[in-house]
A and B are shown apart, each in its own frame.
Chain A
Amino acid sequence: EELLVESGGGLVKPGGSLRLSCAASGFSFSVYGMNWVRQAPGKGPQWVSSISEGSDYIYYEDSVKGRFTISRDNVENSLSLQMKSLRPEDTGVYYCARALNIMDLWGQGTTVTVSS
């Protein structure tokens, strides 16, 4: 079974840091681009970042540029999102999603809450 499982979410104070992970299984992780998508409470999804199969191409949504870093390990079949200088508006559920055709496989999400 093809699976993506996110972890690393939690409660953090404004200005703090958090590292999210996404473990992939059941498919050849190294041949797919990957994405992070977040969803604030009661809002629609928002694309956050994308990384190509070999990490050659990386893109970020403007509001996270300079604060978030996406990376991947094709040996460990994992995707990461290092988040720094967190703001209350970063609160939400963070999903990793595989990029085949478009975001065809999603994890269950991990919740990030930025609050004092």
Chain B
Amino acid sequence: AIQMTQSPSSLSASVGDRVTVTCRASQGIRNNLGWFQQLPGKAPKLLIYAASSLQDGVPSRFSGSGYDTDFTLTITSLQPEDSATYYCLQNDYYPFTFGPGTKVDVK
């Protein structure tokens, strides 16, 4: 199975900061990667699909980039409501695999 790693595992940043989360796949997955935001007690919410496509309704401060094995999620101008855990997911090969998550705390 493809292993997904994320860094950092957690971060704390201030309102208005630019935040970057990275995700690495153990083998190439082309652009078949998504990013999800999960609030406590809620289902994951899709932010980015196909590595860089913004899901409808998601604020434009969220963006994704990358191809093959290295991917990034960027949040420009961090907002208080962005406090959450963020997961990447590869959907190129079965079994689909999620990264371990990055907890973002907004100071």
Interface residues, chain A, with chain B CB atoms under 8 Å away: 35, 37, 44-47, 50, 59, 61-62, 95, 101-104, 106-109
Give me 5 A-to-B residue pairs in the complex whose CB atoms sit less than 8 angstroms apart, sorted by A's number. Answer: A45-B38, A101-B34, A103-B36, A106-B43, A109-B43
Indicate with 1 or 0, residue by residue over B44-73, a CB within 8 angstroms of chain A CB atoms: 111001100101000000000000000000
> Interface size class for chain B?
20 to 34
A102 is contacted by which of B38, B49, B95 (Cβ under 8 Å)? B49
Instruction: Give the docked Cα–Cα distance between A102 and B38 (Å).
Output: 16
B55 touches A104 (CB 8 A): yes
A103 touches B100 (CB 8 A): no
A47 touches B50 (CB 8 A): no
A47 touches B45 (CB 8 A): no
Give the chain B neighbours of A95 by CB distance below 8 A: 43-44
The A interface, classified by DSSP as helix, strand, loop or mixed, is strand
Instruction: Give the docked Cα–Cα distance between A67 and B36 (Å).
Output: 28
Instruction: Give the docked Cα–Cα distance between A37 and B46 (Å).
Output: 14
A104 touches B98 (CB 8 A): no
> Is B91 interfacial (CB 8 A cutoff)?
yes
Give the chain B neighbours of A109 by CB distance below 8 A: 43
**Contact A44 to B95, CB < 8 A, known contacts A95-B43, A104-B49, A108-B43:** no
Give the chain A neighbours of B20 by CB distance below 8 A: none
A59 is contacted by which of B34, B94, B97 (Cβ under 8 Å)? B94
B94 touches A44 (CB 8 A): no
Q: What's the minimum C-beta distance from A54 to chain B, rounded to whole angstroms?
A: 18
> Is B99 interfacial (CB 8 A cutoff)?
yes
B46 is contacted by which of A35, A47, A103 (Cβ under 8 Å)? A103
Known: A45-B36, A103-B91. 15 other contacts (CB 8 A): A44-B87, A44-B100, A45-B89, A47-B95, A47-B96, A47-B98, A50-B96, A59-B95, A95-B44, A101-B53, A102-B49, A104-B49, A104-B55, A108-B43, A109-B43
Instruction: Give the docked Cα–Cα distance between A102 and B54 (Å).
Output: 12
B98 is contacted by which of A45, A59, A107, A108 (Cβ under 8 Å)? A45
CB closest chain-A residue, reference B91: A102
